Amino acid sequence: MKQKKQIIIFTDLDGSLLDKDTFRFDEIEDYFKELISKGIKIIPNSSKTENELLDFNEQYNLNLPFISENGSSIHGLNLIQKDLPDKVLISRPADQIYTIYNENIPSNLKNKITFILKLNSKEQQEIFGLPLDKMMLALKRNYSLPIQFVGNEIEKNEFIKIIKHVGLTVQTGGRIMNICDNVNKSKAMSKALKLISKKLEGEIVTIGVGDNENDIEMIKQSNYPCLVKNENFNSSLINIDNLIKSSEPSPRGWSDVIKKAIQKIKT
């Protein structure tokens, strides 16, 4: 008997699954939970913190494994198979990342950088667009340094070049930039799949869903790459032959691309 395909969805949250303004997905929640009930595994792969993702699970009465802080750590793979680890660290801690930044970035570029953690709560709320309780969860970052860069493109490119040279990365999402270790969503996805594939029987088929620059490598790596409409991101820059695009933004755009991807898997 032919073994059933194991479908795993790796998905960004803000702007992909969650509405970019309300940070909710209530209108497709039933469909989302229907997928889980059918045995499809969903792994949020987000720039959000561990605390935010635990809160997401609690808010929607879910128990999903997840990848936090742009691929810095993997959580809850034991929910897929009990012999898998509960937590896998990929990144060095934030204090080490800050030390590397501080020792290598010249003062003229440091003057162009604002650390979000050093702002007052009103300024932080304006940047994140979150209520105070949710914002406090977003600020509890273990492996990344959220910043705003106010320099020009030449200065920004110089900053990114130095960051890469010293073994770090700059991850650009919707509202902020994050200085991270040499990690990204794609590398964490690969690590998770390597572990999962040792324990699951049958062919693993992946669907990757994102809407922004820091999702592209994850999307490319998926068997069925999906892009949710984002008016602030130029999707024409992405060169993926089998890319599935939505005509609507999140959350309806998420269900749209997932339905198309699953239909392709079945045919």
Domains and CATH numbers, the chain: 6-89+184-266 (3.40.50.1000), 94-181 (3.30.980.20)
The total of other beta-carbon atoms located within 10 Å of residue 53's CB is 23
- 8 Å CB contact between 185 and 198: no
Given a cut of 80, is residue 3 above it in pLDDT? no
pLDDT tens figures, 85-130 = 999 999 999 999 999 999 999 999 999 999 999 999 999 988 888 8
For the four alpha carbons of 211, 224, 81 and 63, in that order, the dihedral sign comes to positive
d(CA 85, CA 87): 5
Residues 6+ apart with CB under 8 A from 199: 80, 81, 83, 84
Instruction: Indicate the angle between helix axes 132-139 and 50-59, nearest 10 degrees.
Output: 140
Residue 109 corresponds to which tokens in the numbers above? 């570029």
Place of tokens 């939505």: 246
- Check pLDDT > 90 for residue 202: no
Written as one letter, the residue type at 70 is N
Highest mean pLDDT: which range of 159-173, 181-195, 233-247: 181-195
Closest CA to 49 of 212, 233, 180, 160: 180
What was the pLDDT predicted at 1? Answer: 42
Question: Is there a contact between 114 and 206 (Cβ–Cβ < 8 Å)?
Answer: no
Rounded to 5 degrees, what are φ and ψ at 227? Answer: -125, 120
- Asked if the model's pLDDT at residue 49 lies above 70, the reply is yes
What are the phi and psi torsion angles at 41 (to 5°)? -95, 130
Q: What is the pLDDT of residue 88?
A: 98
Joined tokens for residue 180:
């991270």
| Alpha-helix residue ranges (DSSP H) falling in the chain | 29-37, 50-59, 94-104, 107-110, 121-128, 132-139, 153-165, 185-197, 216-221, 252-266
pLDDT digits (tens, 9 = 90+) for 210-248: 998 889 999 999 999 999 999 888 877 788 889 999 999
Please name which of 2, 17, 6 lies closest in space to residue 39, comparing C-alpha atoms.
6
Give the model's pLDDT for residue 4.
Answer: 78
Q: Which string of DSSP letters, residue by residue, matches 70-110?
A: TTTEEE-GGGTSTTS-SEEE-SPPHHHHHHHHHHHS-HHHH
